[in-house]
Amino acid sequence: MSSKTILLIGTVDTKSDEVAFMRECIEGAGGRALVMDVGVLGRGGFAPDIPNTEVAQAAGVTLAQIIDGGDENTAMTLMAQGATLLATQLRAQGRIDGLLALGGTMGTDLALDVASALPLGFPKVVVSTISYSPLLPPDRIPPDLIMVLWAGGLYGLNALCRSALSQAVGAVMGAARCVVAPRFERPLVGMTSLGSSALTYMKTLKPALEQRGFDLAVFHATGMGGRAFEALAAQGRFVAVMDFCLQELVNHLGGSCVSAGANRLRVAGRAGVPQIVAPGATDMLDFPAWGAAPASAGDRPRRDHNRLIASVCIDAGQRSAVGRAIGERLAEATGPTCLLLPTQGVEGWDRPGQPLHDPEGLAAFVESARRHAPPNVELVELDAHINDPAFADAALRVFDQWVADGRISRGAAT
């Protein structure tokens, strides 16, 4: 395998020994380390490839100005801006094959900015003293980020620290060597869904779309999946989307941590991506099964999917609000948009006899979605459940028509 170059980011002024150790590990594994110093306290024990003065300059200031400011939060924010700009330039120029960053809370804050600016699928590893901590807001964690706990790494090298740092090097080197970068040779359709116990349309639609010459990528709509879906839509990777599971929108509106952020159901539309949308699982509010349900859940019926995630059925008023929110977000779309509205149910557990069956809530949602559908949206009501064959058939009819009239391209996205 050809040698891989890893962008190694750290504060060389305070972590010279640690950064030097990681550089040695990268070289020992047959790679090359391109060291970027983001420290602001002075010079370290060796000369980095990209000095902190260059990082500050990329942020539009001098290192002296950053130091003279006297505020460490502002200083690291500016260094994050410079590091992000330089990292994205290096990646665009093909000069790096992976990212490896290390830090405590300050370094992790900066590393998350840099990692988030690099595209999905580009190898990225962060060694942090707060890996997987609740201090890390989900919307700042790249969906494909690898994190390694920097055990015993607050100050100086030791046996535990060397173990963590060397494993992180192995992770990024392995990823850089083994990654099969997506080529997007066939037109790619993005789809959202849940597991097949709740939503089953993907089983029909995947082979049908592949027979038509398209690839289908299905994203698990449990927070990080929706964020990856929207990020790729913003990058122009999809020729169309079938956004059929909007549970992350419900979670955001209901205050759940199982959220893809405030821009869910906005990004693809704003980017002009042709979108066929359906309200899959919009009757449920998710939350960690090991914790308390959000206050907005009240005493509604609950279903524990496993020991990690549970759901409660939202009431008719909340479902009306979801219908309105869907309409408001679809109104922002600049490309072809269709809302498929199955009037007999939106996920497997809302059928008669199932724990989340709620005909009153479903009726309230359907009425609200119908009333708030904006003029730019083609509304297609279906006397069917979202898991019925009739729903998949309707989705394919819209898709085929859009292909026929040129609204969906048969060529791969940019």
- What's the pLDDT score for residue 25? 97
Q: Is the pLDDT of residue 58 over 90?
A: yes
- What's the pLDDT score for residue 45? 82
Q: Is the pLDDT of residue 414 over 60?
A: no
- Can you tell me whether residue 315 is helix, strand or coil? coil
- What's the pLDDT score for residue 380? 98
C-alpha distance from residue 92 to each of 87, 88, 89, 119, 398 (Å): 9, 6, 5, 10, 37
Q: What is the mean pLDDT of residues 27-32?
A: 96
Q: For 318-364, what is each residue's pLDDT tens digit? A: 999 999 999 999 999 999 999 999 999 999 999 999 988 999 999 99
- Residue 297 — very low, low, confident or very high, per pLDDT cuts 50/70/90? confident
Dist CA 81 CA 116 (whole Å): 12
Q: In what order do the strands lie in the sheet with 32-37?
A: 32-37, 5-10, 98-103, 124-128, 146-149
Q: Find, among 386, 277, 282, 279, the residue nearest to 332 by Cα.
A: 277
Dist CA 6 CA 102 (whole Å): 13
Q: Is the pLDDT of residue 120 over 90?
A: no
* pLDDT-wise least confident of 89-103, 125-139, 160-174, 335-349: 125-139
- What's the pLDDT score for residue 413? 62
Q: Which of the 8 DSSP states describes residue 50?
A: B
- What's the pLDDT score for residue 177? 94
- Can you tell me whether residue 226 is helix, strand or coil? helix
Q: Is the pLDDT of residue 407 over 90?
A: yes
- Can you tell me whether residue 35 is helix, strand or coil? strand
- Residue 151 — very low, low, confident or very high, per pLDDT cuts 50/70/90? confident
- The domains located in the chain, with CATH, are 5-178 (3.40.50.12020), 188-404 (3.40.50.12030)
- Residue 70 — very low, low, confident or very high, per pLDDT cuts 50/70/90? confident
The label of the residue with tokens 């994203």 reads: 219
Q: In what order do the strands lie in the sheet with 215-220?
A: 215-220, 188-193, 240-245, 275-280, 337-342, 378-382
